[in-house]
Structure 1
Amino acid sequence: MKMSYQALGFLLVLSFIHSQAAVLQYTFMIQETNYTRLCSSKNILTVNGQFPGPTITARRGDTVIVDVINGGDHNITIHWHGVKQPRYPWSDGPEFVTQCPIQPGANFSQRVLLSDEEGTLWWHAHSDWSRATIHGLFVILPRLGTTYPFPKPDAEVPVVLGEWWQNDIQTVFEDFITGGGDPASSDALTINGQPGDLYNCSSSETTKIKVDEGKTYMLRMVNAAMNNIAFFAIANHSLTVVGGDGAYMKPLISNYITIAPGQTLDLLLTANQPAGGRYYMAAKLFNGQPSSLFDNTTTTAILEYNTGNFTPSSRAPVFPSLPDFNDSNASFNFTSRLRSLATPEHPIDVPLNIKKTLLYTLSINTVPCSVNETCLGPGGRRFAASINNITFDMPSTSVLGAYYRGISGVYGNDFPDVPPFRFNYTASSLNRSLQFPETGTDVEMLKHNETVELVFQGTNLVAGVDHPMHLHGHSFYVVGSGFGNFNRKRDSLNYNLVDPPLMQTIAVPQNGWTAIRFKADNPGVWFMHCHLERHVSWGMGMVFIVRNGKSSNARILPPPPDMPPC
């Protein structure tokens, strides 16, 4: 059954393939919608008129078909963040990496293949800065006949962190690219699309979550913010982390959490306070630099206990204790305590015999302005960003299409395995000549089933900052991290190869390093990039191409007939 292009809701068609998997069909209508925030209204790009967008719910191993219809006036792509898409990169979504964008008035039926993911993921636009308003949760339930590896919660609650600009986001993006400096800061943080009652004109719209005393709730959280890592806490309550990035974790009890853009967390909340109580859920930005370079206003929602037949309390909600905005240790300590569940029912498979060893530096750079151009970066130059001193040059056609069809001239296959030159990456003072990167569309070729260890090394060029790195098409084990320069002889001795967390996005600490391991078992073309939008817009991205294996079930599947043209 086909849904009409004018429909705004979801169509769900269940067609059981076997006892454990189903095909589910949704329609995403991209359209302009008028929204009111912070005392003013404007048109924003939405999916099905919703901000945040609709939640997709499926079960482990299902196939989800999403008909994406572009009723807006800008090109668009949609990425299913954390879904591996085994052998089927055609629907992965990053613009000009796996597809050309869906043009206004066009549509693309994207087939989303679930495999071993289970928990909370999300979906978002992957073209320009459209994901500021085009994003939503992707909930993957256990297979029928199985359940969570913890007591089933009484209810599940979405918690989507985001940002809001009063100005049109396309204008913000274009001004940012044209100016060559930092982008305009957002005017507010949001929880489920609402800034909270600490902002003007937002009291009546503040997100409220009702709970009953004694019950347990699962918060399905994603950080959909464009440029900011966040701290989050709930007053008078602790949170128990039980999953993240589509995989289960050992229960971790904490009074606060740190979550980077792109990351998801599954959190258990026990409502153990008296009936009638009101408590702030609050998120604020984390920035490890010495001074605040952004609006550090806190966004809030309200956790409100049901009172039965009693009158609800009118007192102001209690506010939680959050780390200081620049508390790098608080951010690092939370993330470094995450562990995989690693049980017989949910086993892990950390690669031990590594065949490919990579070291990638992550740097903020500067480049000269063009003639007669005024740039707003340091010293009148233009900001850039790089991996191994290469700023990714986005092609005008898709890398995947070029690879699959053997088209030459779109990309090179000589991305360096190690930095092209060595220096003291995290020194407090670095020679300005080190700031200037090369520009290129180079890819790293991996053999099918090749085991990879990749160490991300942050640098202090221009400014040392945290980098949430996201790999498409694969999950990876975070086996180690630390501050300063990575030393293999010393730091590899402290790797966790027993129960490291399985993730798809990890924040590399400011002037520090993070080591990940994965098996390149998914043939295709896969983007890897920083999930801070200003950094990937500056060029902090690269592409892995995983070659086909020898057997027929280890080769890229053919493309769909309706791939968007360039």
Structure 2
Amino acid sequence: MERNIKRAISLAVKEAPYTRLCSSKNILAVNGQFPGPTLHAHTGDTIIVDVHNRGDQNITIHWHGVKQPRYPWSDGPEFITQCPIKPGGKFSQKIVLSDEEGTLWWHAHSDWSRATVHGAIIIYPKNGTTYPFPKPHAEALIILGEWWKSDIQEVLEEFMENGGDPNNSDAYLINGQLGDLYPCSIPDTFKLTVEYGKTYLLRMINTVMNSILFFSVANHQITVIGTDGSYTKPLKTNYIAISPGQTIDFLLEANQKPNHYYMAARAFNSAPAVPFDNTTTTAIIQYKGNYKPSSPQPLPLLPAYNDTNASTTFTGSLRSLANKDHPVNVPLKIRTKLFFTISINTLPCGNNNSCEGPGGNRFSASVNNITLQLPTIDILEAYYRQINGIYGNNFPKFPPLAFNYTADSLPVQLRTPRRATKVRVIKYNSTVELVFQGTNLLSGVDHPMHLHGYSFYVVGWGIGNFDKEKDPKNYNLVDPPLQNTIAVPKNGWAAIRFKADNPGVWFMHCHFERHISWGMGMTFIVRNGKHPDAKILPPPPDMPPC
């Protein structure tokens, strides 16, 4: 039974002082907290969140991984489902939970504000039910973040103006703290106190802007039991590979000699030509008891920064529980087949100027060779109110040109995409298979692709070009993981399936922020069904104006 939590929390977005890396500055934060406040709920709850914009820039808030059945109005992506909340404005957002259980998160979905505007959503089992594993002694959040000495909006404005890559961050964070491997940060190290013989549930979120991260705990094996608000078969592992936007829930057994042990995270980067922040953030697990911590404290062994096999092996090992209490419903008969190439491109700099991208051009990115151009009125309002001229409804099901997508060398002519605002319309209850195909235009790189409004089954993946005759024969249709964000491997592919049973306007994009800033995103419109309970609900009265 749905429980309506009225005015569960009020989020005030405004500047707050913060000190890191020997420097102080104001950041955009929520309720004066960084990371922001945690929302607690149970499966099936509805939460009302009052968002007040007390900052000096436009803002939207997205509830990442929440399906929002029939209610896209509160989903949050700027100019897709709403116009931004202007400074001084307010929007009362309704967060409709359905079958999600575990850890999700919320974040700004406008410009690069999510670097500091984000927080966790913890969804407990329904009352009367419990976890599908022994109840842990305690729980803790592990939020992996990123830090720039510069103002984050200045970073965005600079690279969007010069057409090149954004400046790298200066550090990674664990729960807003750098760890003691960075200068001036010894007091700023997150510590988790554990008791020998007890088991702890750690809920991890990767809020980092542009990097997949490797994570590990020194001398401890961990057991993954969930991802993206869904349970998985227990997976014992020595490390985690986690994409931006993804969540991983895991159990930690405090079974080592009482001491202090590092947990650590650093970037995975598969593209040699792409600059990245190669620093390491740490936190400390400290056992209770009377002892003198060893010096130096043991550091975990993390995979090499370019270990593609480590990244894909971890991601490819996740499996749904697929049992009586947690069944899988993988679509078997597919009605709508889609094939989307995801590419890094270039566009002319314009005005006879030279940009800092390859060949004096500016970087761009695309899906099926279309670079997303955001409208000035959000697509949801245009669709709902039948406003013409805002978008085209002919986003291609397949790329306009077939070629050897992952060849070592590709013609320069293929690099130039089209700028457009187009959507793909899907009939209600249609069963969908979408194959993401990475390309080697400019340079191949991993792409963590995120779909709003749905969770999807990841039924297959591989390196190289997708073979429509051979590769589907190896799909996992028995216990594939249920996710909302999937890392498509460098010069590889990933296949997902879902049933289009949630009418509305739903964004899909790469969760590397530089890629979506360059245009790697598109929009689905899922039509209304015939019955009243299969139609979009009406909008709230306080939608932010354009």
What TM-score does the superposition give when structure 2 sets the normalisation length?
0.99
Query: How far does residue 317 in structure 1 lie from its aligned partner after superposition?
Result: 1.8
Q: Which of 107, 124, 148 pairs up with 2:107?
A: 124
Q: Which amino acid aligns with 1:46?
A: A
1:351 aligns with 2:334: no
- Asked if the contact 2:191/2:286 (under 8 Å) is kept, the reply is yes
Distance 2:530 2:176 in 1: 47
Question: Which residue among 273, 285, 308 is the counterpart of 2:256?
Answer: 273
1:282 counterpart SS class: strand
Structure 1 unmatched runs, 5+: 1-17
Match of 1:484 in 2: 464
Task: List per-residue Cα deviations over 1:156-212 (Å, max 9, x = no partner).
Answer: 110001100000001111101101110000000111111111100000111111111
Q: Which residue of 1 aligns with 2:293?
A: 313
Contact 2:143–2:176 (8 Å) recurs in 1: yes
CA offset at residue 398 of structure 1? 0.4
Q: Deviation per CA, 1:517-558, whole angstroms, max 9, x where unpaired?
A: 000000000000000000000000000000000000000000
CA distance in 1, matches of 2:298, 2:3: 45
* 2:348 aligned to which of 368, 371, 377: 368
Matching of residue 289 in structure 1 with residue 267 in structure 2: no
* Alpha-carbon distance in structure 1 between the residues aligned to 2:286 and 2:418: 53
* Structure 2 SS opposite 1:174: helix
Residue in structure 2 matched with residue 11 of structure 1 by the alignment: none
| SS of equivalent to 2:533 | helix
One-letter code aligned to 2:268? F
Does residue 433 of the first structure (1) align with residue 430 of the second (2)?
A: no
- Residue 86 of structure 2 is aligned to residue 103 of structure 1: yes
> What TM-score does the superposition give when structure 1 sets the normalisation length?
0.95
Structure 2: how far apart are the matches of 1:63 and 1:474? Answer: 17
Structure 2 unpaired stretches of 5+: none
The residue aligned with 2:238 is 255
1:278–1:316 CA contact under 8 A, matched in 2: no
Q: Distance in 2 between matches of 1:374 and 1:32?
A: 35
The verdict on how the C-alpha distance between 1:57 and 1:260 changes in structure 2, with shifts beyond 3 A counting, is same
CA distance in 2, matches of 1:312, 1:193: 27
Could you tell me the percent identity over the aligned residues?
Answer: 65
Residues 273 and 443, structure 2, Cα contact 8 Å, conserved in 1: no
Match of 1:388 among 361, 368, 377: 368
Q: Which residue does the alignment assign to 1:205?
A: 188
Residues in 2 aligned to 1:292 and 1:197: alpha-carbon distance in whole angstroms: 27
| 3-state DSSP of counterpart to 1:252 | strand
Check conservation: 1:279, 1:317, Cα contact below 8 A: yes
Residue 559 (1) aligns with residue 542 (2)? no
Q: Partner letter of residue 524 of structure 2?
A: F
Alpha-carbon offset, residue 239 of structure 1: 1.1
SS at match of 2:470: helix
- Structure 1 segment 486-501 matched on structure 2, within 5 A: 486-501=466-481
Find the counterpart in structure 2 of residue 460 from structure 1: 440
Root-mean-square deviation (Å): 0.9
The code of the aligned residue for 1:158 comes to L
Aligned-partner SS, 1:461: coil
1:148 corresponds to = 131
Alignment CA distance shift 1:292-1:301 (3 Å): farther
> CA offsets, 1:42-85, max 9 Å, x none?
00000000001111000000001000000000000000000000
Aligned with residue 217 of structure 2, among 234, 251, 261: 234
Aligned partner (choices 514, 517, 520) of residue 497 of structure 2: 517
Cα offset for 1:23? 1.6
Q: Report the 3-state secondary structure (helix = DSSP H, G, I; strand = E; otherwise coil) of the residue aligned with 1:488.
A: coil
Q: CA deviation at 1:312?
A: 4.4
Choose from 303, 325, 334 the match for 2:285: 303
**SS of residue matched to 2:187:** helix
1:314 Cα deviation (Å)? 5.5
Report the number of matched residues. Answer: 545
Partner of 1:4: none
Partner residue in 2 for 1:59: 42
Give 1:22 shift.
3.9
Cα distance in 2 for partners of 1:444, 1:565 equals: 25
* Distance in 2 separating the partners of 1:484 and 1:311: 52
- Decide whether the 8 Å contact of 1:306 with 1:312 is kept in 2: no
Cα distance, 1:311 vs structure 2? 4.7
